[in-house]
A and B are shown apart, each in its own frame.
Chain A
């Protein structure tokens, strides 16, 4: 589903590579944690999948497409197949929960009846049914992240990328978000999550790819957050 083939990314000439000759294969329907310290290349990894950045060397393939050869006008089509969730939720403060989620469909030209059908469905999936008319400021952090997940999933993408989705949440709320993402994964979505949340990684015991100064130092199925815990 996602393949990094000897990928290097250097942001500025002479600087240390953000990713250094990374080769990784992520199969359809996998749940993968990308872990590592700040600056280890986790976000760059996700940006390359989204084609927000181009690799300096090597190739990135998503759903069989070589992103290095993907023309700019085809990038929106690629992104319609990828949901994204961020640490800071990135909701629109002047729109209700329903409108925030509907926004993702409106801007790609979906019909009104499709929006009326899909938005309540996805809000129910994330456990926010009944809160359609609330504004983001009226919701807790966990609920706001659920809205962000609903927005990422409303177009039913086969891939979900999450960049530190629990970074702003307390442990109990994080656990709820973790379980929600696991449920989405069990429905067939490929999930790639960059995280610092050791409890989340340890709870789910999924594949863990650890990056250190841009290099893959660990790629372990059913791994834990820290390598010392594998015992």
Chain B
């Protein structure tokens, strides 16, 4: 009897405040969608970083012929300089950070170039002397790039050091900003949903003041007096959650 009564009271209350209920459902739905989008975006960013950073390398490009860089004033990197850099990679400062080091000679770089551009690059046919030798370093922890770069940069025979992660930085930056924006909007919308729900409960309580007054006088327990309002206030957000889950195809 009590359960039936509570259900009928909730039904009546919801019918009475139907516009407010629709507003709560919509606002909650949108805010939860933003929350979900932000969470999904963050998960995706994390996954992409794990995947892509695992594949990228740090490239130490050695001075080619005719380089105008300050570190290359003595001309093309000599075998002695290459050996010194190779030894540096095995030094206690760098070795613990490095998973794998591979030296790519000019000949290997040219072979790679030919495989990628069999018809030449932008109409020009390059030669082996246009290539530059490099060290390809795979780090154990890609985020420790700067330590390696600081040690290697400025060494004789080094033209410049490139962290391939930089290529993705702008993409991740944009994705991160989008997820923060989404989270910010979600927070605002959730606040609006909470305020709307509170207002719905208060309106409902106001409109049934006489009824609750009588309930108290005839000895209805406090939880029984409050339960319909609580459930009435909670139902629209629950519907919004169910709709959002259905829309996302989640269980």
Which residues of A does B touch, CB under 8 Å? 50, 72-73, 76-81, 84, 90, 92, 103-104, 106-112, 115, 151, 155
Contact = CB atoms under 8 A, between A and B. Distances in A.
Contact of B219 (A90, A92, A108, A112): A108
Contacts of A78: 219
B221 interface: yes
B214 A109 contact: no
Interface residues of B, number: 17
19 contacts: A50-B217, A73-B221, A76-B216, A76-B219, A76-B220, A77-B219, A80-B219, A84-B217, A92-B211, A92-B214, A103-B214, A103-B218, A104-B214, A107-B5, A108-B218, A109-B2, A111-B1, A112-B1, A151-B214
A92 B207 CA distance: 12
B177 to A, nearest CB: 52
B215 interface: yes
B222 interface: yes
A103 B217 CA distance: 12
Contacts of A111: 1
Interface of B: 1-2, 5, 210-211, 213-222, 224-225
A79 B222 contact: no
Contacts of B217: 50, 79, 84
Nearest to A90: B214
B218 A107 contact: yes
Nearest to A115: B1
A107 B222 CA distance: 11
Nearest to A84: B217
Contacts of A109: 1-2, 224
B209 to A, nearest CB: 11
A76 B1 contact: no
Contacts of B216: 76, 79
B219 A106 contact: no
Sorted nearest first, the 6 A-B pairs with minimum C-beta distance are: A80-B219, A79-B219, A107-B220, A104-B218, A76-B219, A109-B2
Contacts of B220: 76, 107-108
Q: Which of A106, A110, A112 has its CB near the most chain B CB atoms (within 10 A)?
A: A106
B221 A76 contact: yes
Contacts of B210: 90, 92
Contacts of B5: 106-107
